[in-house]
Amino acid sequence: MTETITAHKARTTAAPPTLGPLGLFTVLLAAALPLIDFFIVNVALPTIGRDLAASETMLELVVAGYGLSYAVLLVLGGRLGDLFGRRRLFLGGMAAFGLTSLACGLAPSAWTLVAARVAQGAASAAMLPQVLATIQAATSGQRRAKAMGLYGATAGLSMVAGQILGGVLVAATPLSFLFGAGTGWRSVFLVNVPVVLVGLFLAARAVPETRSQHPEPVDGPGTVLLAAALLTLLAPLTEGRAAGWPLWTWLSLAAFPFVAAAFYAVERRADRRGRTPLVPPSLFALTSLRRGLALIVPFSIGFSGFMFVIAVALQQGAGRGPVAAGLALAPMAVVFFFVSLAGPRLVARYGTRVVTAGAAIQGVGVALMALAAWYSWPDLGLVELLPGAAVAGAGQALQLPVVFRIVLSEVPAARAGVGSGVMITTQQSSLALGVATLGTLFLSLVPGLGMRDALVTTLLVQLAGVALTGLLSLRLPRTIG
């Protein structure tokens, strides 16, 4: 009996879980997978359409199905990690991501691919919130700052690298002997499987188990209302143009503010009664979180919209192949990586004004790309886009990793899963909005203006979003806690 009591005391007074270098590498690898998968499909869509005889509406569902289920379930994934253990959810979500990637790569029809993409988004929503929550709960001080900086760098690099990797894999034909010519698109999904197997092996050895000390039960009404709010907004925006804006799209958009208001009312009532709702309104009392999230929205809308539009413009307008279309953004990825490594030192010296400088630099890069499109069309490719893409990549690297650190800097460890879920949901919803809004604008302008003028106009709209990001950055706390 005495030995049992002693063992119990040892467990309760044990050192808190620590995320070592190998564990950090593993969770960052997992963080890259869902973001790469969101963007890797952009350059594969034309090939998917030809191989599966898929309509434009169906192709948009391949993108939107993943993004919607991912965005809708992210906060719930964070809550379940707090409740049942983040390592457990991480391993389960990663395994499910591998299986659903396999299903996508083997899909025999367009509808099967859409269904597999929806399931893949749900798996991502179980896995990704555990990454940030584990970093928050198992690191502290400078180690946490470094880990958060690396997370932001990984996220930004993954979004660009996904499109580059997609172009290379679509052009490769290692599976043609199994599926026939023109099936390189399957590789963009199947490549996830061996990566997931490695990730599961490493995670089982190096990722510590963490959970909230006072877990709350799942907020059923809040979960349903958040899902309904996101669906009423994102579904019509992503499918409306291709479907011809039928009545349901307008009814859905009209319902959005009412559903969102009902969600806020339910969450506020639960918060006031001492329960922990899915998205606690009291969390938004944190200035760093509130203002950081406000900045993530226009940044992510512009980022994803640009990536979608440039992939379509280079392939369908400038006649570039998938490899050339993907590699045209290689300078952005390379510069983003190296500049993001310097980000922590710059923040330590200059504070969050680094974000303002990053927005200004990104604006110069977008303007240079707009000028390149105007003067070089249709001879637009790697060389013509290089100056603008490189400058824009430097500006983005000074914003995204820093803003991620700011958003979670004051979130208590007990609410790490909730805080990370809210941040990633905001980012993912904004990424989906970017494809829906800037993508729809671009495709709507093409018939009347032509591909070049539609591209330049869309880039100028993105430039306005970059200016808004810069203005919002002036309201960020000067230092990061």
Exposure letters 327-347 (e unless 16+ CB within 10 A, then b):
bbbbbbbbbbbebbeebbebb
Task: Inform me whether the pLDDT recorded for 350 exceeds 80.
Answer: yes
pLDDT at position 253: 92
Mean pLDDT value across residues 96-109: 92
Output the six-digit token pair for 115.
Answer: 């269904």
Query: Cis ω on the peptide bond leading into residue 378 (within 30° of 0)?
Result: yes
pLDDT at position 279: 80
The residue that leads in pLDDT, 191 or 478, is 191
pLDDT tens per residue across span 65-96: 888 888 888 878 887 887 888 888 999 999 99
pLDDT at position 404: 82
pLDDT at position 370: 92
Enumerate residues 6+ apart whose C-beta is below 8 A from 269.
none
Enumerate residues 6+ apart whose C-beta is below 8 A from 173.
181, 183, 184
pLDDT at position 7: 46
The residue that leads in pLDDT, 168 or 330, is 330
Task: Inform me whether the pLDDT recorded for 1 exceeds 50.
Answer: no
**Rounded CA separation 137/141 (Å):** 12
Q: What percent of the chain has pLDDT over 90?
A: 22
**Rounded CA separation 143/113 (Å):** 41
Task: Inform me whether the pLDDT recorded for 371 exceeds 90.
Answer: yes
Kindly indicate the confidence band of residue 172, based on its pLDDT and cuts at 50, 70 and 90: low
pLDDT at position 326: 77
Output the six-digit token pair for 291.
Answer: 């203002």
**Rounded CA separation 233/297 (Å):** 14
**Rounded CA separation 185/47 (Å):** 6
Q: How is residue 315 annotated by DSSP?
A: I
Segment among 12-21, 184-193, 210-219 with least mean pLDDT: 12-21
Mean pLDDT value across residues 227-231: 87
Task: Inform me whether the pLDDT recorded for 435 exceeds 70.
Answer: yes
**Rounded CA separation 121/127 (Å):** 10
Task: Inform me whether the pLDDT recorded for 244 exceeds 50.
Answer: yes
Q: What values do phi and psi take at 79, rounded to 5?
A: -65, -40
The residue that leads in pLDDT, 218 or 400, is 400
Task: Inform me whether the pLDDT recorded for 14 exceeds 70.
Answer: no
Task: Inform me whether the pLDDT recorded for 206 exceeds 80.
Answer: yes
Instruction: Choose the most confident range, by mean pLDDT, from 115-124, 127-136, 312-321.
Output: 115-124
pLDDT at position 359: 93
Output the six-digit token pair for 285.
Answer: 């009392």
Of 65, 207, 187, 236, nearest in space to 139 by CA:
207
Kindly indicate the confidence band of residue 8, based on its pLDDT and cuts at 50, 70 and 90: very low
Mean pLDDT value across residues 52-76: 80
Kindly indicate the confidence band of residue 193, based on its pLDDT and cuts at 50, 70 and 90: very high
Kindly indicate the confidence band of residue 369, based on its pLDDT and cuts at 50, 70 and 90: very high
pLDDT at position 48: 86
| pLDDT mean across residues, the chain | 83
One-letter amino acid at 203 equals A
